[in-house]
């Protein structure tokens, strides 16, 4: 489990839980559609971040008999459910409430200007603005924490433009918290604007209109988060790992060419990569001589230890020396490729490289004269 992601999620849960209570407490007596949608927004954020936390915990479980590569993909599944919930519940309830508020707009217009009975003689506008100010401070702080962690991840991944890393990040949990809190800050500002305009003009449609914008923002954010998590649940290729393998193979003195290079991202800590390689004849043969000589020397000692010669025994041991030297050299090349690949891309946890053969070296005809 990423310690940074877990810390950000826990902070977001605590902050949004407090804001949910405050917003609902004020939304009911003030009858503000924008404040009610903000309360729904904070409630959905709290529930969604609980989903994200459950995803982090279940996704951190190691491999077992049923899950060969661990439970990492469960994190994306929980995140996807979170995004769907944010869309269907948050956006749907927000639009539904705005619709009912518009239908009863003449009642709401009268009620917004009335003093709140729950808070005595306190002006509803003061209550609403006070809660929104608290929400702005809390959401801004959570957003700052999430942005700091996200920017650090982007720098570690070599991305100079942090915003472009949003769609390429391998940690959709952190992206979800970052986007939800960014939308939350914007939502607070929109709600404050709608309530202030309604109070100043007496036109309740300002409040309703901004509440609709808040609900639509939830839907857009959910669709984006759903797209990111679907990417990791649909056998996406690890382009960076494949490019790293290409560079390593091109630089290796014993490899003539490679093909059928493929990869699958299992989760943010596991990528499976497979490839086929062909070896250079002149390079591999020269490297084999030393191994063949050593194995033949060992075979000669074993032959002298025999009491009686067996037909074909010398030829067998000679051929075996050739085979053993060839296998050892090809295994050594594969081990070198895997080691360099994992050094540069630690998330490549499983590598399968197949040696297809040795490419014959065709001499180039020299021109006459």
**Residue 265's beta-bridge partner residues?**
271
* Number of residues assigned to the chain: 369
Average pLDDT, the chain: 77
Stated as kind and residue range, the H or E segment containing 353 is: strand 348-359
Residue whose structure tokens are 């404040």:
35
Closest CA to 195 of 135, 107, 132: 132
Domain definitions of the chain by residue range: 3-232, 239-359
The pLDDT of residue 245 is above 90: yes
Average pLDDT over residues 38-53: 82
119-128, 293-302, 313-322, 326-335: least confidently modelled range? 293-302
Report the pLDDT averaged over residues 161-175: 74
The whole-model pTM stands at: 0.64
Closest by Cα among 39, 46, 75, 25 to 180: 46
Classified by CATH at the fold level, domain 3-232 comes out as Alpha-lytic protease prodomain-like (1.20.1510)
- Angle at the Cα of 67 from the Cα atoms of 61 and 72, rounded to 5 degrees: 45
* Percentage of the chain exceeding pLDDT 90: 7
Question: According to the model, what pLDDT value does residue 312 have?
Answer: 58
Report the pLDDT value the prediction gives residue 306, as an integer from 0 to 100: 47
pLDDT confidence band for 341 (50 / 70 / 90): very high
- Whether 25 has a pLDDT exceeding 80, the answer reads yes
Distance, in Å, from the CA atom of 138 to the CA atom of 133, rounded to the nearest integer, reads 9
> How far is it, in rounded angstroms, from Cα 347 to Cα 94?
41
Residue 153 and residue 174 in contact, taking contact as beta carbons nearer than 8 Å: yes
- Give the residue among 94, 124, 115 at the shortest CA–CA distance from 34: 94
């Amino acid at each position: 489990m990423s310690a940074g992601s877990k810390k950000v999620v826990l902070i977001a849960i605590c902050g949004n839980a407090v804001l949910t209570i405050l917003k609902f407490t004020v939304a009911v007596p003030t009858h503000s559609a924008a404040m009610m949608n903000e309360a729904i927004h904070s409630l959905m954020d709290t529930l969604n971040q609980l989903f994200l936390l459950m995803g982090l915990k279940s996704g951190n479980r190691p491999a077992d008999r049923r899950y060969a590569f661990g439970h990492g993909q469960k994190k994306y599944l929980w995140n996807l459910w979170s995004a769907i919930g944010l869309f269907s519940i948050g956006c749907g309830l927000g639009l539904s409430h705005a619709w009912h508020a518009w239908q009863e707009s003449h009642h709401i217009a009268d009620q917004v200007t009335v003093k709140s009975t729950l808070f005595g003689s306190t002006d509803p506008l003061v209550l609403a603005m006070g809660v929104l100010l608290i929400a702005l401070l809390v959401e801004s702080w959570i957003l700052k924490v999430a942005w700091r962690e996200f920017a650090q991840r982007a720098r570690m991944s070599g991305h100079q433009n942090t915003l472009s890393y949003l769609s390429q990040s391998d940690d959709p949990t952190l992206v979800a918290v970052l986007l939800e809190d960014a939308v939350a800050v914007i939502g607070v500002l929109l709600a404050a604007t709608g309530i202030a305009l309604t109070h100043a003009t007496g036109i309740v449609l300002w409040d309703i209109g901004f509440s609709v914008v808040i609900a639509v923002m939830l839907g857009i954010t959910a669709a984006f988060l759903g797209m990111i998590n679907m990417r990791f649940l649909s056998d996406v290729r690890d382009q960076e790992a494949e490019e790293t393998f290409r560079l390593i193979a091109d630089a290796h003195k014993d490899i003539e060419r490679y093909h059928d290079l493929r990869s699958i991202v299992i989760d943010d800590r596991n990528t499976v990569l497979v490839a086929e390689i062909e070896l250079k004849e002149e390079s591999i043969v020269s490297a084999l001589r030393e191994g063949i000589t050593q194995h033949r020397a060992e075979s000669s000692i074993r032959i002298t230890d025999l009491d009686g010669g067996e037909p074909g025994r010398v030829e067998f041991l000679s051929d075996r020396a050739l085979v053993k030297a060839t296998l050892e050299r090809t295994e050594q090349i594969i081990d070198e490729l895997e080691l360099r690949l994992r050094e540069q891309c630690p998330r490549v946890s499983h590598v399968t490289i197949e040696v297809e053969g040795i490419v014959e070296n065709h001499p180039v005809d020299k021109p006459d004269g």
